[in-house]
Amino acid sequence: MLYNFFKKKELQHNVPLYKKLGLNKKYYSSVSSKDFTNIDENILTKRTDKSKLKDLNFYKGVTEDSKDSLDKFWDNGFCVIEQYKDEETVDKINEEIEKLQECGQLDFQYGNKLMFAVHKSAFLKNIWEDKKLNELLDYLIGGSAKLFQSINFINGSEQHTHSDSIHMTTFPLGGLLGVWLALEDIDIDSGPLHYYPGSHRLPYYLNSDYNNDGNSLVIGPHGYDAYEKMLATKIKNEQIEKKVFLAKKGDLFIWHANLLHGGEPQLDKNKTRKSMVMHYFDANRICYHEISQRPAFIG
């Protein structure tokens, strides 16, 4: 709470939403799924009219295979937009990332992640706040999609299977979208993205599912590895099938907040897996990090 106290600008967006739900919270208060027990989620959200997809300008401008993938978003929990960006644009994105690194504005964090490039480059921000794309994201998220962060990878993440909803949680649940762009052709040796079609329909596994509930002063007792182990057991019990996305340069992958996904091992250490991922929150929902009970910084 003390850390949050000095982040008023980035956290005050939640205060009107707290009041709307009847929660007695300050902008710096801790927050977790326990706070929303028995609260009607319909206070903050509205149902998406799924019949309107074909009316979107974005939908009209993509290939037939991409349209088919968009049509199945709610069944599969993801969609693939083929060649969303042409080779010239992708090359410019790679050049911009390299330039940001060279001038010291962008460096690796959390191991192999280049964080928040969209907040340091007007060129990149304009790409990911494109009107047609945001119209589609508003539709898929059932609200108002706001660009929260970007992560660039040079090599594959090799991240264990997870749902973004444990890291970037919302109330009501589901108010997040992942948007991933291939910045080069990616093969099996590069450590490609993996995912579990239909897994978004599983329950949202949160702190209470692995005895990690904390309180307003102390976070839960278990580390993130306990979540990963719990999730691996759930996947085995559900017998859901893993798929690997061997993307072509410029392909776009959009996924639901609860789709299980991760990164395959990098089998060839000489190969890169250049990619860029964006996360978008629904501005009409409360956004927070379930494990640390910290409200999300959206400035």
Report the pLDDT value the prediction gives residue 1, as an integer from 0 to 100.
81
Q: Which residue has the tokens 């400035």?
A: 299
User: Tens digits of per-residue pLDDT, 69-118?
Assistant: 999 999 999 999 999 999 999 999 999 999 999 999 999 999 999 999 99
Report the pLDDT value the prediction gives residue 219, as an integer from 0 to 100.
83
Tokens of 229: 């182990």
67's enclosing H/E stretch is helix 64-71
pLDDT band, very low/low/confident/very high, at 231 (cuts 50, 70, 90): very high
Report the pLDDT value the prediction gives residue 26, as an integer from 0 to 100.
94
Q: Say yes or no to pLDDT of 41 above 70.
A: yes
Mean per-residue pLDDT, 250-272: 97
Report the pLDDT value the prediction gives residue 215, as an integer from 0 to 100.
80
Q: How far apart are CA 135 and CA 58, in angstroms?
A: 8
Looking at the chain, the whole-number percentage of residues with pLDDT higher than 90 is: 88
Residue 205's nearest CA partner among 147, 171, 162 is 162
Of the CA atoms within 13 Å of residue 84, those in its CB half-sphere come to: 24
125's enclosing H/E stretch is helix 122-128
Looking at the chain, the whole-number percentage of residues with pLDDT higher than 70 is: 100
Q: Say yes or no to pLDDT of 289 above 90.
A: yes
Q: Say yes or no to pLDDT of 65 above 80.
A: yes
Q: Say yes or no to pLDDT of 45 above 90.
A: no
Report the pLDDT value the prediction gives residue 299, as an integer from 0 to 100.
61
Report CA torsion sign: 67, 70, 76, 80.
positive
CA distances to 2, 33, 204, 290 from 213, rounded to whole Å, are 20, 9, 15, 9
Report the pLDDT value the prediction gives residue 298, as an integer from 0 to 100.
77
Q: Say yes or no to pLDDT of 243 above 70.
A: yes
Report the pLDDT value the prediction gives residue 56, as an integer from 0 to 100.
97
C-alpha distance across the termini of the chain, in Å:
18
Mean per-residue pLDDT, 51-58: 95
DSSP string, 237-292: HHTPPPEEE-PPTT-EEEEETT--EEE---S-TT----EEEEEEEETTSEEEETTT
Report the pLDDT value the prediction gives residue 237, as an integer from 0 to 100.
94
Mean per-residue pLDDT, 198-219: 90
Q: How far apart are CA 96 and CA 235, in angstroms?
A: 38
Q: How far apart are CA 154 and CA 191, in angstroms?
A: 11
Prediction pTM value:
0.95
Q: How far apart are CA 49 and CA 53, in angstroms?
A: 8
Q: Say yes or no to pLDDT of 46 above 80.
A: no
Q: How far apart are CA 90 and CA 95, in angstroms?
A: 9
**Domain extents in the chain:** 51-295
- Superfamily name and number for 51-295: q2cbj1_9rhob like domain (2.60.120.620)
Q: How far apart are CA 201 and CA 37, in angstroms?
A: 20
- The bridge status of strand 286-289 relative to strand 294-295 is antiparallel
Report the pLDDT value the prediction gives residue 187, as an integer from 0 to 100.
97
